[in-house]
Amino acid sequence: SYRWPKDSRFNLAQLMSGGEGTLAVLTDIKLNLVPQPVKTALAIIHFNSLREALESTPVILQVEPSAVELLDNLGLTLCREVPEYARLLSYFVEGQPNCVLITEFYGQTEAELQSKIDKLQTHLKREKIGFTHITPAIDPELQTKVWTVRKVGLGLLMSIKGDHKPIPFIEDAAVPVEHLAEYVTRIEKFCNDLGTNVAYYAHASGGCIHIRPLINAKDATEVAKLPKITEFSVELLGDFGGSFSSEHGDGRARSWLNEKFFGKDLYGLYRQVKHTFDPHGLLNPGNIVDAGPMTENLRYGAGYRVQPVKEHLDFSEDMGFHRAVEMCNGAGICRKKTTGTMCPSFMVTRDEEHSTRGRANALRAALSGNLPHEELTSERMFAVMDLCVECKGCKAECPSSVDMAKIKTEFLAQYYEKHSVPLRSKLFADIAFWSHLSSGFTAPLANFALRNSLVRWGMEKFLGISRRRQLPPFAAVPFTRWFKQRQQQRATQNGRPPAAKKVVLFNDTFNTYNYPQVAISATEVLEAAGFEVLLPGHKCCGRPMISKGLVNKARRAAQDTINRLAPFAEQGLPIVGLEPSCLLTIRDEYFDLLPHDKARVKLVADHCFTFEEFMAQLAEAGELNLQFKDEQRHVLLHGHCHQKSLVGTVPSKQTLGLPAGFTVTEVDSGCCGMAGSFGYEAEHYDVSLAMAERRLLPAVRKLNDEDIVAAAGVSCRQQIKHGTGKQALHPAEILRRALK
Ligand code: SF4
Ligand code: SF4
C-alpha cells in the first residue's frame, strides 16, 4: 500500500468516491457520521399537478426543511390499487391529489416542529403557492406510515408488470431547484413525443428527481430511444447548469457521454487520472472514461426471445412465467448479508447461485436460449433452486418484488413432469393424512417409533429425513376431539348461552394433531373476548403440496378449503388462522391455484386473518376487553417469514403487548431455516441450522429463563427448541397464560 503525502490540495476521499471503483480497491473506509435528529415531523403537501409541486420546491426550501421527497401520481395510483397501502394512504392523503411532496423537519421538541409546519403553511400561502392541502405528521407512527408508502410506492413502480419497465438511465441528473419544473416538464414532453411514458420519484429538495422512462428493452425501436433521450437530457443539463450524475454515479449508462458533457479538456484530465491510478485498465473498465455505447451489453436487447412454458400456476398477472422471472433487474439487493429475510440461502452460502438473482438468471438463461431449453428442468437447475426455502423474503424485500417462492413451485411442477417425485416429497406433501392417522389412539406407538434410534436411522437411510432431527410428536387428544368433547359436555350441562359474536378458527394440521394446546389456547382467548368459536372441519390447506411442487394436488386441497370456508365468509364471519403459512396461503397462493374461482377466493381471503391481526384489530377498534394478570414479562418476538412478507410484524407486537406488564422486542432474525420440511431433510440439515445460527438462535440464548420467546410458526418453534432447548410459544398460548 502507498501512503499519499499530506497535502491539502488533494482530497483522496472525494476522488475515490467519485471514481466509482475505477481508480483503486478500498479495503478500509472510515465514515464520519452525523448524529440522528432528536425529533422529526412531516408535512405532506398536496398538489393538483406535478409542475405546481416542482415549482413550489424552491419556496418550500426557504423554510429550511431537512428533505423534500416526491410521491408522484403513478406511485399514488399504484398504492391505491393495493388495499393495504390504500389504507395507509388514507391516514395522510386527502382527496385525489395529483402528487404530494413529503417535507421533513428536524427539531428538539414537538412544539418546535409544530411551529415549523405552521410557518411552512403561512409561507406557502403568502407566496401564493397552489397547494390544496397539508397533512401534518408529528406522531412517529404516522410518519412511519408515510415512509412505508413512499418506500412501497418505489417498490410498486419498480415491479410494474410487462415488458415496459421504468429504466434508470437518466434518473440521476440534478439541476438547480429553480429549474427543476422546467427540466422535468421538457423531458416528459420529449419522452411523450416519442410515445414513452415516464415515472418519477425522489429528492425534490436536492434538485434530483429520478426520472425513469418506461422502455421495452426487448424491442429494437424502444432500445433506440435510450441514447436519444439521454442526449436530450444532457443538452438540457448543459443549459440549466445541472449535473449528469448526482448520487448514483455515471456507470455504463452515462459514461459514454462524459466527453460531450464535460468537454475535451476536462475529459482528457479524467483519462490521465485513470491512467495514473490504473495504468493497465483493470479496475471497473468502461466506466467514467473509455466507455462503450449504452446499448452494448443490455440485459435483454432487440434479439431477446423466450420459449414459453405451459404453466401450472396462474401467471396472468405477471404476463407469463418468463416475465415473472424477468422481474429481476439484476441490482443485487438480494446479496445483502446482515439484515432482513432475503435471501437466507445466499446469506449462509455467500454463493451467487443461491441468491434470488442467481436463480432468476439461471432460469432466464434456459428460457431465453442462452442455455439449451432442456436445462430448465435439468438436475443442475434443480440444484440451483434447491436451497430456496420459499420464505417469500424476496417478494417483500426485493425492489422488483421478484416472487421466487412462486417461481420455485412452478419450477418444481415443471421438473416433476420430467422426473419422478421422490417418496419423501410425497410423504411430506401428505402430512395431514399421516398426522390424522398417527394421532389419537395410535399416538403412543407413533411417538415411540419416532423416538427410536433404529427407526430414525432407517428414515435417514431410506427417506432422507435427518436422524438428527426429532419429528413433531402426535397428540393423544387432537384439538378436534378436545373441541367436540367440550361441546358435548356443554350440551349435556346446558352449558354457556351462545355468544352474540362468532369467529371461525381455521385449525391447521399442526395445531390440530401435533400441538393442540395452541388451538385450545386460541379458542379460550377468543371465548374470553366474547366470541363463539366455530370449526370449519379439518383438511389440509395444500401448503405442504405447494412447497413440494405438487400443484394439482394442492389445487384440489385449495378448492376443498374454499368450498368449506366460503359459506362462513358469505355470512361475514371472520376466519382466524394460527399457523401463518397455512392461513396466508389462502390470501396468496390460492389466487394462483384457482384462477377460475377468483371471486370466491377473494371473498374468503378478505375474511381471513392471522390470530395476531384479529386481536390487534379488535384492540384498535376498542372491542377487546381481556383481563390480564399483573405481571412483568419480556417477550422476544421471532416473526414467521411469510408473516413478515405479507403482513408484517406490527400486529404481532400489538397483540403481545396487550398485557400491560409485557415488553416486546423483535429479533431481526430473517428466516429460521426450518421452512416446513426443509430442515428435516438430511442434505439440508447444516444449511438449515446455519440460517438459524445467524441471528435467531444467538438472540434466544442471550435471554433469561423467565423471558418468553414468541413464534407463530410451528417450524420456527421446532428450530428454536432444537437449537437452544428453549420452548417458544405461539402468541395465542402467551395471551392464554397471561389471562386472569
Ligand atoms: S432478485 Fe430482486 S434484489 Fe435480487 S437482483 Fe433481482 S431485482 Fe435485485
Ligand atoms: S423465497 Fe426466500 S430463499 Fe427463495 S429466493 Fe426468495 S428470499 Fe431467497
Smallest Cα–Cα separation from 632: which of 664, 678, 610? 664
Mean pLDDT of the 539-554 span: 97
**Residue 440 per-residue DSSP state:** G
Q: Are 399 and 335 in contact (CB under 8 A)?
A: no
| Degrees to nearest 5, angle at CA 190 with 184 and 192 | 100
Question: Which ligand 1 atom sits closest to the C-alpha of 342?
Answer: 3
Residues 6+ apart with CB under 8 A from 35: none
Q: Cell triple for residue 222? A: 424502444
SS (H, E, C) 372-386: CHHHHHCHHHHHHHH
Residue 4 pLDDT: 59
Mean pLDDT of the 165-179 span: 92
Q: Are 702 and 678 in contact (CB under 8 A)?
A: no
Average pLDDT, the chain: 93
Residues 6+ apart with CB under 8 A from 400: 155, 158, 159, 327, 328, 329
165 lines ligand 1 (CB under 6 A): no
Residue 6 pLDDT: 67
**How far is it, in rounded angstroms, from Cα 151 to Cα 28?**
30
Which residues partner with 441 through β-bridges?
none
Q: Are 356 and 334 in contact (CB under 8 A)?
A: yes
Q: Which segment of 323-327, 491-495, 557-561, 597-601 scores lowest on mean pLDDT?
A: 491-495
| CA 671 to ligand 2 center in whole angstroms | 10
343 lines ligand 2 (CB under 6 A): yes
Residue 520 pLDDT: 98
| CA 682 to ligand 1 center in whole angstroms | 29
Helix (H) or strand (E) holding 67: strand 67-71
Residue 1 pLDDT: 42
Question: Which ligand 2 atom sits closest to the C-alpha of 408?
Answer: 4
Residue with the smallest CA separation from ligand 1 atom 2 is 398
Helix (H) or strand (E) holding 609: strand 608-610
**How far is it, in rounded angstroms, from Cα 318 to Cα 326?**
10
Q: Cell triple for residue 693? A: 445460527
Question: Which ligand 1 atom sits closest to the C-alpha of 401?
Answer: 2
394 lines ligand 2 (CB under 6 A): yes
Q: How confident is the model over 596-630, as pLDDT tens digits?
A: 999 999 999 999 999 999 999 999 999 999 999 99
Helix (H) or strand (E) holding 164: strand 164-166
| Best residue among 333, 355, 361, 384 to mutate for probing ligand 1, ranked by most atoms within 8 Å of CB | 333
ipTM: 0.89
* Fold entry, domain 39-159: Alpha-Beta Plaits (3.30.70)
Residue 124 pLDDT: 96
Residue 693 pLDDT: 97
Sheet of 501-506: strand order equals: 531-534, 501-506, 575-577, 608-610
Residue 461 pLDDT: 96
Residue 78 pLDDT: 85
**How far is it, in rounded angstroms, from Cα 92 to Cα 136?**
8
DSSP state letters, 215-241:
EETTSHHHHHHHHHHHHHHHHHHHHHT
Residue 3 pLDDT: 58
Residue 67 pLDDT: 93
Residue 5 pLDDT: 63
| Degrees to nearest 5, angle at CA 395 with 391 and 398 | 115
Smallest Cα–Cα separation from 99: which of 179, 200, 234, 247? 200
Q: CATH 3.40.50 region(s) of the chain?
A: 479-619, 627-738
Write down the residue that cell numbers 423474503 correspond to: 393
Is pLDDT of 430 > 90? yes
| CA 70 to ligand 2 center in whole angstroms | 31
Q: How sure is the predictor about 723, in pLDDT bands with cuts at 50, 70 and 90?
A: very high
| CA 623 to ligand 2 center in whole angstroms | 38
Residue 491 pLDDT: 81
405 lines ligand 2 (CB under 6 A): yes
Q: How confident is the model over 321-352, as pLDDT tens digits?
A: 999 999 998 888 899 888 889 999 999 999 99
Q: Which ligand is nearest to the CA of 357?
A: 1
Q: Are 180 and 191 in contact (CB under 8 A)?
A: no
Residue 87 pLDDT: 80
Question: Which ligand 2 atom sits closest to the C-alpha of 393?
Answer: 7
| CA 362 to ligand 2 center in whole angstroms | 14
Q: Is the dihedral of CA 405, 410, 415, 416 positive or negative?
A: positive
Q: How confident is the model over 669-717, as pLDDT tens digits?
A: 999 999 999 999 999 999 999 999 999 999 999 999 999 999 999 999 9
159 lines ligand 1 (CB under 6 A): no
| CA 485 to ligand 1 center in whole angstroms | 52
| CA 400 to ligand 1 center in whole angstroms | 7
Does the bond joining 343 to the residue before it have cis omega, within 30 degrees of 0?
yes
Q: How confident is the model over 45-100, as pLDDT tens digits?
A: 999 999 999 999 999 999 999 999 999 888 898 888 776 678 889 999 999 999 99
Q: How confident is the model over 375-415, as pLDDT tens digits?
A: 999 999 999 999 999 999 999 888 788 999 999 999 999 99
Give 479-619's CATH code, choosing from 1.10.10, 1.10.3470, 3.40.50, 1.20.120: 3.40.50
Residue with the smallest CA separation from ligand 2 atom 5 is 356
Q: Cell triple for residue 308? A: 414459453
Residue 79 pLDDT: 85
Mean pLDDT of the 35-51 span: 95
**How far is it, in rounded angstroms, from Cα 496 to Cα 88?**
40
334 lines ligand 1 (CB under 6 A): yes
Taking the CB of residue 88, how many other CB atoms lie within 10 A of it? 19
400 lines ligand 1 (CB under 6 A): yes
Residue with the smallest CA separation from ligand 2 atom 2 is 391
User: In percent, how much of the chain has pLDDT > 70?
Assistant: 98
Q: Which segment of 145-149, 237-241, 286-290 scores lowest on mean pLDDT?
A: 145-149
Q: What is the CATH number of domain 627-738?
A: 3.40.50
| CA 333 to ligand 2 center in whole angstroms | 12
Residues 6+ apart with CB under 8 A from 446: 438, 439, 474
393 lines ligand 2 (CB under 6 A): yes
| CA 360 to ligand 2 center in whole angstroms | 11
**How far is it, in rounded angstroms, from Cα 436 to Cα 453?**
23
Q: How confident is the model over 268-315, as pLDDT tens digits?
A: 999 999 999 999 999 999 999 999 999 988 888 888 999 989 999 999
Q: How confident is the model over 438-460, as pLDDT tens digits?
A: 999 999 999 999 999 999 999 99
Q: Which ligand is nearest to the CA of 343?
A: 2
Q: How sure is the predictor about 10, in pLDDT bands with cuts at 50, 70 and 90?
A: confident
| CA 542 to ligand 2 center in whole angstroms | 20
Q: CATH 3.30.70.2190 region(s) of the chain?
A: 39-159
| CA 335 to ligand 1 center in whole angstroms | 8
Residue 213 pLDDT: 95
Residue 495 pLDDT: 61
Taking the CB of residue 555, how many other CB atoms lie within 10 A of it? 20
Q: How many residues does the chain have?
A: 740
